[in-house]
Amino acid sequence: MIRARRTAGDDRTDDLLGLMLHTRHPETGLPLDEVNIRNQVITFLVAGHETTSGALSFALYYLARSPEVLARARAEVDALWGPPGEVPPSPAFEQIPKLRYVRRVLDEALRLWPTAPAYGRQAREDTVLDGKYAMRKGDWALVLLPALHRDPSVWGPDPEAFDPDRFAPAEVRARPAHTYKPWGTGARACIGRQFALHEAILVLGLLLHRYDLSGDPSYELKVTELLTMKPEGFTLEVRRRTS
- The pLDDT of residue 131 is 94
The Cβ of residue 118 has, within 10 Å, a number of other Cβ atoms equal to 14
Phi, psi values for residue 24, rounded to 5°: -100, 155
Each residue's pLDDT tens digit, 153-177: 999 999 999 999 999 999 999 999 8
- The pLDDT of residue 187 is 86
Q: If you average pLDDT over every residue of the chain, what do you get? A: 92
pLDDT of 135 above 90? yes
- List the single range of 140-144, 186-190, 233-237 with lowest mean pLDDT: 186-190
Class of domain 48-217: mainly alpha
Buried b (16+ CB within 10 A) or exposed e, 185-224: eeeeebeeeeebbebbbbbbbebbbbeebebeeeeeeeee
Each residue's pLDDT tens digit, 114-128: 999 999 999 999 999
Cα torsion for 209, 243, 83, 66, to the nearest 10°? -40
- The pLDDT of residue 1 is 86
Each residue's pLDDT tens digit, 39-80: 988 887 777 788 899 999 999 999 999 999 999 999 999 999
Considering just the CA atoms, what is the radius of gyration of the chain in Å? 21
Each residue's pLDDT tens digit, 189-223: 888 899 899 999 999 999 999 999 999 999 999 99
Give the percent of the chain with pLDDT over 70.
Answer: 98
- The pLDDT of residue 181 is 96
pLDDT of 226 above 90? no
Residue 85: pLDDT band with limits 50, 70, 90 = low
- The pLDDT of residue 86 is 59
Give the separation between CA 91 and CA 124, rounded to whole angstroms: 47
Give the separation between CA 39 and CA 35, rounded to whole angstroms: 6
Rounded to two decimals, what is the model's pTM? 0.85
Q: Residue count of the chain, please give it.
A: 243
Cα torsion for 88, 90, 96, 98, to the nearest 10°? -70
- The pLDDT of residue 239 is 93
The Cβ of residue 84 has, within 10 Å, a number of other Cβ atoms equal to 20
Averaged over 7-19, what is the pLDDT?
Answer: 90
- The pLDDT of residue 188 is 83
